[in-house]
């Protein structure tokens, strides 16, 4: 017996894409569903219904046979077979624990769009964050020096800030807000890779090391401590830079005096990121517990590069629960007003 479905063709295509991203499947498997959803979203409702009924959806750019089949089934009010299969395979819980803490999170402080090395437009990231129940999402595309990730020049970042304003105006009334941010590269001397006048305009700033990860321990420590002491730094991103699995291979953690870095974080009210990506698990458990004992604040972030990856936060929540971290020390359990007040440079 065919199951009924009332979500509509666009919702069905977006849900399949979300689940594939959540499972960190290859990007090419996702693009077809995102492209088809975008194409159908532009159609008037009557034309979409007509094309679904007469089998002409594939005449549209971006719609192939498999995505058209999903749309046709959804338009008939049937649960698309591909959606049912994807839900069965990827729709279950991602972790055994961390779910209570995940429900306490109000937002996510680390996400990327197609303005840098993410795969989706800003508005799609914002809409998905809303659907996941967030009150806010901080958009943190990369800074200029990270050219391999299409880092934002000052001019491009200025344009992006206007786009964020437009997205928020469009979404007004629902209580959600997209916050202005950056994942700013920590330079070799500990400086931040963006103009101070632009950093001043942002709501939240995540500072991360992306280059010379094998630097000797003493200069790496000086570099990180200098960045943490910068009044514009709010969150120290994926502090060791390690990779423990995934299609990019593995990478050892950087060497630095973790006690000195975390003491600087505690002294300067900078949160240590618990990066929730399963391929990072950063910081490692021993350093997570050290930061806890030193008295650091934390931010549990998805580091999402696609909408479905926003759901990865629960991996970090599970680790934080296992480490016994008080939820009030996790800055993204805070209200938006409390968060932005804390993040404002003093």
Q: Please provide the CATH number assigned to the domain covering 9-90.
A: 1.10.150
For 99-343, give the CATH class.
alpha beta
Characterize the bridge pairing of strands 107-108 and 136-139.
parallel
Beta bridge partners of 243: 251
Length of the chain: 346
* pLDDT tens profile 287-340: 999 999 999 999 999 999 999 999 999 999 999 999 999 999 999 999 999 999
- Determine the average pLDDT of the residues in 18-45: 94
- Determine the average pLDDT of the residues in 276-290: 98
Taking alpha carbons only, the member of 304, 305, 328, 301 closest to residue 316 is 301
Domain boundaries of the chain, sorted by first residue: 9-90, 99-343
* pLDDT tens profile 128-177: 999 999 999 999 999 999 999 999 999 999 999 999 999 999 988 789 99
- Determine the average pLDDT of the residues in 108-124: 96
**Pairwise CA distance, residues 88 & 68, whole Å:** 21
Question: Taking a C-beta distance cutoff of 8 angstroms, is the pair 209, 254 a contact?
Answer: yes
**Pairwise CA distance, residues 55 & 53, whole Å:** 6
- Give the per-residue pLDDT at 246: 81
- Give the per-residue pLDDT at 1: 66
């Amino acid at each position: 017996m065919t199951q009924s479905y009332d979500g509509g063709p666009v919702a069905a295509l977006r849900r399949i894409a979300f689940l594939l991203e959540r499972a960190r499947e290859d990007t090419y498997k996702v693009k077809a569903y995102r492209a088809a959803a975008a194409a159908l979203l532009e159609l008037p409702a009557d034309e979409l219904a007509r094309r679904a009924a007469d089998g002409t959806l594939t005449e549209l750019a971006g719609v192939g046979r498999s995505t058209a089949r999903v749309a046709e089934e959804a338009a008939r009010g049937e649960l698309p077979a591909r959606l049912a299969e994807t839900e069965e395979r990827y729709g279950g819980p991602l972790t055994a624990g961390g779910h209570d803490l995940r429900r306490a999170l109000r937002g996510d402080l680390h996400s990327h769009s197609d303005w840098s090395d993410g795969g989706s437009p800003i508005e799609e990231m914002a809409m998905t964050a809303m659907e996941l129940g967030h009150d806010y999402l901080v958009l943190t595309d990369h800074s200029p020096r990270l050219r391999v990730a299409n880092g934002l020049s000052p001019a491009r970042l200025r344009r992006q800030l206007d786009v964020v304003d437009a997205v928020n105006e469009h979404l007004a009334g629902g209580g959600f807000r997209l916050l202005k941010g950056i994942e700013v590269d920590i330079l070799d001397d500990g400086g931040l890779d963006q103009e101070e006048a632009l950093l001043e305009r942002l709501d939240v700033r995540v500072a991360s090391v992306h280059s010379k990860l094998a630097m000797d321990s003493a200069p790496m420590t000086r570099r990180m401590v200098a960045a943490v002491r910068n009044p514009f730094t709010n969150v120290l991103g994926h502090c060791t830079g390690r990779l423990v699995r995934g299609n990019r291979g593995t990478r050892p953690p950087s060497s630095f005096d973790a006690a000195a870095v975390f003491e600087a974080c505690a002294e300067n009210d900078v949160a240590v990121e618990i990066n929730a990506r399963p391929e990072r698990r950063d910081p490692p458990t021993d350093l997570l517990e050290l930061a806890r004992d030193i008295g650091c604040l934390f931010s549990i972030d998805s580091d999402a590069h696609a909408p479905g990856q926003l759901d990865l936060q629960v991996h970090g929540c599970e680790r934080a629960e296992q480490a016994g971290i008080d939820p009030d020390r996790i800055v993204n359990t805070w209200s938006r007003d409390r968060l932005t007040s804390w993040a404002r440079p003093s």
